[in-house]
Amino acid sequence: MTDIEQWLSEHLLSPVEVDCAITVMLKIIDGKCKMTQQEKVVMAALYDAVKSCHHILLEPGVHRLIAAARDSSDEVVKLQVYEQRLLAETMISRPVMKAFKARIRQQGLLECG
């Protein structure tokens, strides 16, 4: 069991928090995430661990887009990621995203890895 999986076994994420993790992954791919490089690595691992979990706001197709974007530098894919990130950020309120980020920091997720 990885550190991320261990953390998740002790700190279950709600469906909207899974949406938050997906949104952070979109931000990482789009180059808009302001976390440190190590925190981005942890968040990418968190995304990988929760991408099959139930989420409520984002369409399931977002996972295909993320997979394509991780393996491509295609400008069309980059534009799609940008558009999906903007959509995700409008669907998840700032207070919800801030609470998610505060929780993962407070509960030590970003120290994993």
pTM: 0.94
75 pLDDT more than 70: yes
| Largest distance between two CA atoms of the chain | 39
- The DSSP secondary structure of 53-83, one letter per residue, reads S--SSS-TTHHHHHHHHHT---HHHHHHHHH
| Mean pLDDT in residue range 8-33 | 96
113 pLDDT more than 70: no
Q: How confident is the model at residue 112 (pLDDT cuts 50, 70, 90)?
A: confident
pLDDT in tens, 43-56: 999 999 999 999 99
Compute the mean pLDDT over every residue in the chain, rounded to the nearest whole number.
Answer: 94
> CB-side exposure of 36: number of CA atoms within 13 Å?
6
What is the model's pLDDT at position 81?
A: 96
